[in-house]
Chain A
Amino acid sequence: MTAAEQAGGLDARIVVRRPRFDLDLVLTAAPGEVVALLGPNGAGKSTALRALAGLTPLAGGHVRVDGRDLTRLPPDERRVGMVFQEYLLFPHMSALENVAFGPRAQGTGRREARRRAAEWLEHVGLAEQASARPRALSGGQAQRVALARALAVRPGLLLLDEPLSALDAHTRLEVRAALRRHLAGFAGAAVLVTHDPLDALTLADRLVVVEGGRLVQEGAPADVARHPRTPYVARLVGLNLFRGRADGGSVVIADGRLKIDAVASPEGDVFLAFEPSAVALYRSRPDGSPRNLWKARVAAVESRGDRFRIRLDGAGPDASGGDGPDASGGDGPQVSADVTAAAVAELGLAEGSPVWASVKATEVRVYPA
């Protein structure tokens, strides 16, 4: 018996087999906990959610919510609330009727169902839109109606499939804050699918990263953000990530072509991560030979608001070469560096430019693989 099973909440192992796709995921969530399923497109996040709701049949595993075995139950008997990506509000019903649909389907009388629906609409701040048809609602309002509709069935488990992805950036901000409040007030377990790191970091108590149908990393949002364990997660949180071997305070990465010193490091197989802004670029070999220096070549320059992201490749292990780096790259670590516009101009950075790159030992995080 797992802890989640004893204490209620979600306890599931989801096995779904498709041609060319195989999902096998253990997923637990304590009552009141919000778990975010994070992963690239096609990782199986939405499939996992559909399987929990009973919309996609399981090839194996189990689904238990608050100790109740749902594995063989059809969706309408599961009492699992789901907020769909495009909300799927019934277009022929008013907002109130949409929210009242669940209680009605569960056998509540018409009047009582409508009263409860009105309460829920008020709870999400849409009392005035009760009689509006879905097409008259804004995206943010539709999202709230969808949430109220899912919560009105008093589910033991709440599922949210990309709940904010259909909204524009501005609405998203507001709705995210409101959603955060409602999730905090929800007593059951909640599973949220997203590919937006910000949604995951701000809404979830715990992240579960799925790639290729498998769990690749899980943990508290802050921990995942600081210690990514796959290139996908590293990209998501904007860190440079390498795997290497640590020996006496320095880490050998990129198949031994580069040695990076860190302030504190465990021994053995490790991950090594640092921020793009921690990377310094030079046109010629800097004086004083700072540690962690390597030759690189600019692969791409991208504008990112007030900064520029420089993608570097091609470095040699030989940091003691001539005065200027040669553009021999192609076999070194791929590193992202964030620099100012002034730096781009001063260094004359363009695709193919040879540069020297360095990262301070104090900015490098090393953790066991």
Chain B
Amino acid sequence: MTVLRGRRARRGEAADRVRGRPPLVLMLPALVGLVFLVLPLAGLLVRAPWGTVGTRLGQPQVLEALRLSLVSATIATGLCLLFGVPLAWLLARVPFPGVRLVRALVTVPLVLPPVVGGVALLLVLGRRGLVGEWLDRAFGITLPFTTSGVVLAETFVAMPFLVISVEGALRAADTRFEEAAATLGAGRWTVFRRVTLPMAAPGVLAGAVLCWSRALGEFGATITFAGNFPGRTQTMPLAVYLALETDPQAAIVLSLVLLAVSVAVLVALRDRWTGAA
């Protein structure tokens, strides 16, 4: 810890010493990048039909889509935590043959186009799918084109974000605390529950936020696997896309809502997040 503090102090000194104008060659592209990121958001705000926002938001279809989005993203995040945290622990703490392959497999949904993910989910969990057919016959459970299907599609796409974030936090954590816990008589489950997880909490929280945001914005896998049924599988992103063709003003309002939700989450978690960093 002292080492860390020392390093930070030294870095601080360096910042004090190194002055002078930042080079234009870096500043120019940096500014372009910043404008590029901010301008579309500004455009959204400028073009919003502020006069009718209230009435449009009150429409049951909008509220329904918003509720569905929030609920399914939250459940998906819960599923990701339930399965993703142990998976991250496995990757970070248990050396087993093929761990690199498994890690690569876990990150595949991260780089896979979501539509492809949706197709893959259909092939496995669809009514004629490898597992879906059996689920249908044995339990009468049908997943595609249901709200559960929305949750599954979002979980599939968002889980890698959580796993990677939590695994990073676990790897960065000082395992000597776990050793200390072991010498005090704690078995591996107790160590995980009372030492590992609480100490990695900031990483888990950051991962959950990323995961939730990704699930909230999920489009491709959802529309492919769950379809676009208002009230059942039509989440906000799908509603935005649909509205863009029929009623562009409505699309802007829906987008504003998504933007507001995202910003609200960021602000709510900002202190804890930056505190962890």
Docked complex: B38-82 residues within 8 A CB-CB of A: none
Is A243 an interface residue when CB atoms closer than 8 A count as contact?
no
Residues of A contacting B190 with CB < 8 Å? Answer: 105
A55 and B195 in contact, given A84-B176, A105-B190 (Cβ under 8 angstroms): no
Is there an interface contact between B194 and A75, defined as CB atoms closer than 8 Å? no
Partner of B186, one of A78, A88, A105: A105
Closest Cβ–Cβ distance, residue A92 to chain B (whole Å): 5
Is there an interface contact between A55 and B182, defined as CB atoms closer than 8 Å? yes
Docked complex: B169-184 residues within 8 A CB-CB of A: 174, 176-177, 179-184
Partner of A102, one of B1, B174, B185, B199: B185
Closest Cβ–Cβ distance, residue A63 to chain B (whole Å): 13
Chain B interface, number of residues (Cβ within 8 angstroms): 20
Give complex CA distance A283, B177 in Å. Answer: 59
Is A53 an interface residue when CB atoms closer than 8 A count as contact?
yes
Residues of A contacting B177 with CB < 8 Å? Answer: 88, 90
Is B248 an interface residue when CB atoms closer than 8 A count as contact?
no
Is A332 an interface residue when CB atoms closer than 8 A count as contact?
no
Is there an interface contact between A75 and B179, defined as CB atoms closer than 8 Å? yes
Nearest neighbor of A53 in chain B, beta-carbon distance = B183
Is there an interface contact between B1 and A78, defined as CB atoms closer than 8 Å? no
Residues of B contacting A90 with CB < 8 Å? Answer: 177, 180-181, 194-195, 198-199
Closest Cβ–Cβ distance, residue A210 to chain B (whole Å): 21
In the complex, 11 of the A-B residue pairs with CB atoms within 8 angstroms, ordered by the A residue number, are A54-B182, A55-B183, A74-B182, A75-B179, A76-B182, A76-B185, A88-B179, A90-B198, A101-B194, A105-B190, A153-B184
Chain A interface, number of residues (Cβ within 8 angstroms): 25
A78 and B181 in contact, given A86-B1, A88-B176, A92-B198 (Cβ under 8 angstroms): no
Is there an interface contact between A78 and B183, defined as CB atoms closer than 8 Å? yes
Is A81 an interface residue when CB atoms closer than 8 A count as contact?
yes
Known: A77-B185, A102-B185. 20 other contacts (CB 8 A): A54-B183, A55-B179, A75-B182, A75-B183, A76-B182, A76-B186, A78-B183, A79-B185, A81-B183, A84-B180, A86-B1, A88-B177, A90-B198, A91-B199, A92-B201, A101-B181, A101-B194, A102-B184, A105-B190, A150-B184
Is there an interface contact between B199 and A80, defined as CB atoms closer than 8 Å? no
Docked complex: B121-137 residues within 8 A CB-CB of A: none
Give complex CA distance A80, B181 in Å. Answer: 12
Is there an interface contact between B183 and A82, defined as CB atoms closer than 8 Å? yes
Residues of A contacting B195 with CB < 8 Å? Answer: 90
Is there an interface contact between A88 and B185, defined as CB atoms closer than 8 Å? no
